[in-house]
Amino acid sequence: MNAREEIPSIETGSGDSRVTPMMEQYLEIKTANPDCLLFYRMGDFYELFFEDAEQASRALGIMLTKRGKHQGQDIPMCGVPVERADDYLQRLISKGFRVAVCEQIEDPAEAKKRGGKSVVKRDVVRLVTPGTLTEDALLDPRRANRLIALARVMAGEDTIVFGLAALDISTGTFTVSETTRAGLAAAIARLDPAEIVVPEALLSEPDLAALLKETGRPLAPVGRDISDAASAERRLSEAFGVSTIAGFGALSRAEVCAGATGVSYIVRTQRGAHPPLAAPQRAGQSDFLDIDAATRANLELTRTMSGERVGSLLDAIDRTVTAAGGRLLSERLASPLTDPDAINRRLDSVETFTADAALRRDICMALRRAPDLARAVQRLAFNRGGPRDLAGVRDALIAARAIAERLGQSERGAEIASASTALAAPDPALAAQFSEALAEELPVRASDGGFVRPGFDAALDEQRQLRDESRRVIAQLQQRYAEETGHKTLRIKHTNFLGFFVEVPAAAGEELRVAPWNATFVHRQTLQGAMRFSTVELGDLESRIAAAADRALALEMAVFTRLSDLVASAGAVLQSVAQALAVLDVASAFAQLAAEQTYMRPEVDLSLAFDIKGGRHPVVEQALVSEPFIANHCDLSPASEPEAGRIYLITGPNMGGKSTFLRQNALIAILAQAGSFVPAASARLGVVDRLFSRVGAADDLARGRSTFMVEMVETAAILNQASRRSLVILDEIGRGTSTFDGLSIAWAAIEHLHEKNSCRSLFATHFHELTQLSKRLGRLHNATLKVAEHKGDVVFLHEVVPGTADRSYGIQVAKLAGLPPAVVDRAGAILAELESRDRARPKQAIADDLPLFSIAPRPAPVAAPPDPALLALDAIDPDELTPRAAQEALYRLKALRKS
């Protein structure tokens, strides 16, 4: 029945409200899913009622209607076509909604057998949440769609640890790890989940709830039935059909609890269906470079500060040609390694493809023909796949075989050799079966039919012939009816509601309703300008056609099931192939990037070295079109190996390139540990265990934090957590408050970095007084950005050299920004006056007590400030003045003289 033809409810004349069976069913299902929008299937539409309809109409921009009454009130209603449901689901999920999909689970004909008022049985078959998507239309093909489940357990008398399980049901990946309360935010930021499943007990704690909400990810609270630690091991065993989880390795109690919570949540959202997941793999906390959420945002690794991919590091370096390769690249960039051996295995692969351009080109061409195998396999395993997913498996296997043959058995490095072995593992007969079975043109859904190649199944070909022959008979019958009645416009048509019928214009229809034609043509429906009739002969033909079509579709569905079962039985092998294709895509993409941008292989080891020659910013360099990027050196290596790393104190002008220099060195470290060549002439890097970056300024007004407060919170995290092997990037610490406060904080922070953290650091500042610290802090080295002045203007050379700066050139930058000339001139005069005064006098009492200022030489007494009018006169070049400009200059000089 069409959705718009069924009345939801009725109201009795006495005012006593009665609910129709259909609406009673709807309310019962909605009550069981109160936190979801209910997509209630009615014919060809998913309908929403009451508050769900109001919310959906606003979110989707679709019309809100009213249909029937409930408890004396009109029922708000809106709906979306089933065929376009994925588009609407994607929009709702992106806005943070969860959707319960309620389908008809019986044939309407069966409901009619129970009586005229019987309603078709319906039930929720799936909860659609951000972390449980599998459909291509709902997913970003180049981004993983992880769901994270949290658990908290006591690991000792006073030790609390958090377990994290990261599951991506679109690809079947499943990893577990554990962390501390302090490292929880960084762990979540690294995994970048689409949804976080968290026990309600944790959300009841304000501090923890605030931390989780700060991530900006949708939260899915769950009760003890899903997060119960006591039954976690049993539930995880049952999910994988094993008697013990010992075969998964030495998982901690926190990891088991988190894993069981994640799996149980997915089973609930899929209404009892167990997801086809890989066995959980343990990821140790020390396996990856630890990058907190603030640093990821500051460095714009995968998204810019505004949330866009364009402009990020990922966007600048991505040369992958497959969706799976794009996801793996994003994952590696988010989770750089800390094991030099593992890093160098990746670098070996990149070097192989860098050295052999022909091999790189051939592999890339073959990869372009490989669809997204991992997600196709998962959809088929979830019974959500279609014929095109089968074709995707076929094409990926063909590409894998070609790549394995191209790589051959020669020595290519451990990573490439392992990938080649995985690509050659599937039985070639598997792809051959798909090729023999599948037609050239394939529908989206298997239920549409027509996807089996003619000649593959003799019984299917026979039923198709009967079906198609019956349709030819229909055409012949239409011609005969037209000739017999004399109405050339007579047509035989078909709809799902009426089946086959004869349609004629209204005038001709009046003739067919009387003798002798009414014995043959039975009136069915009158439309504006047309009438519809049925005949016994047409009804018989319809039954034969329907029977043949049903039999043909049943045979096709049997073929589809058989091929899907083949995919399921080879699931583990196919997922290995998918991973190998992604690994090769990333390695060849890194090689392509290195060839295009002249990146070099870094030397990565366990030392504390950080020596970059000719380093460049990977994003800024590509953005420059009209001018070359100025490369710079950076050596934070210790003078002798047992010592801690150096601290660069960088001074220089605004717009001179300090922030770019800071960021580029952090990004070079990330690229190297992700397994990429780097934008530098050479680089030797001792593995960085934690990367901290405080660059840029932003407020957090929603939480009552000013820009300065945010700066201090991030700085505190750095000073409290940085270790000897960390890399710290700090820019303009203390500039958000008064001069004395800011200078004191920056001074103390540098001392703490030098004496306590002992880490490799880059510290940019406009507090030029801090340069005096190099006289008593042995590992502190001063560096500055070169500038050149010409006729009162400044030229930024963007070159980092040893030394210090004594000016920030802020007024010159203000001039470039377009401040009115009068403001710029006045600022210059004020600056000249301030610089001529004894600035030490008002703060001398404090300065005498500070070791910092006792080190700095006292400024010599200076004469009275020069006349502003004379300064302005000196700045005038008479040879360049027009008569009008000379007159204006005289007026300005008079005004200055009067002031």
Show binding-site residues for ATP.
652-659
Is residue 742 classed as helix, strand or coil in its secondary structure? helix
705 CB neighbour count, 10 Å cutoff = 15
Structure tokens belonging to residue 31 = 């009550």
Which of 637, 692, 634 is CA-nearest to residue 665? 634
- Beta strands 727-731 and 760-764 are parallel
CA distance 572 to 549: 36
Kind and range of the H or E element at 694? strand 690-694
- Beta strands 682-686 and 603-605 are parallel
Q: How many CA atoms lie within 13 A of 342 on its CB side?
A: 12
Q: What is the CA radius of gyration of the chain?
A: 36
The set of residues, in sequence order, having a beta carbon less than 8 Å from that of 403 and lying 6+ positions away, is 363, 366, 367, 420, 423, 581, 584
Q: In what order do the strands lie in the sheet with 160-168?
A: 219-222, 195-199, 147-154, 160-168, 173-179, 281-282
Residue type, 794: V
DSSP state, residue 449: -
Task: Catalogue the E-assigned strands of 256-367.
Answer: 281-282, 290-291
In whole angstroms, how far apart are CA 683 and each of 590, 610, 615, 678, 811? 17, 8, 8, 8, 37
Which of 245, 236, 255 is CA-nearest to residue 162? 255
The answer to whether the beta carbons of residues 79 and 3 sit under 8 Å apart is: yes
Q: How far is CA 509 from the centre of its chain?
A: 60
Residue positions forming the annotated binding site: 652-659
Structure tokens belonging to residue 315 = 């966007």
DSSP state, residue 6: S
CA distance 552 to 491: 26
Is residue 93 classed as helix, strand or coil in its secondary structure? helix
895 phi/psi in degrees, rounded to 5: -65, -40
Q: In what order do the strands lie in the sheet with 760-764?
A: 290-291, 690-694, 727-731, 760-764, 647-651, 780-790, 793-802
CA distance 684 to 346: 16
CA distance 264 to 866: 79
CA distance 725 to 641: 12
- Residue 35, class by beta-carbon neighbours within 10 Å (0-12 exposed, 13-18 middle, 19+ buried)? exposed
In angstroms, how far is the first alpha carbon of the chain from the final one? 88
Kind and range of the H or E element at 399? helix 387-407
791 phi/psi in degrees, rounded to 5: 55, 45
**Facing residues of 492 across strands?**
502
The set of residues, in sequence order, having a beta carbon less than 8 Å from that of 240 and lying 6+ positions away, is 277, 279
Which of 851, 892, 853, 887 is CA-nearest to residue 870? 892
CA distance 660 to 695: 10
Which of 474, 457, 472, 470 is CA-nearest to residue 554? 457
Task: Catalogue the E-assigned strands of 71-159.
Answer: 73-81, 99-104, 122-128, 147-154
Q: How many CA atoms lie within 13 A of 897 on its CB side?
A: 8
Is residue 283 classed as helix, strand or coil in its secondary structure? coil
The answer to whether the beta carbons of residues 763 and 788 sit under 8 Å apart is: no
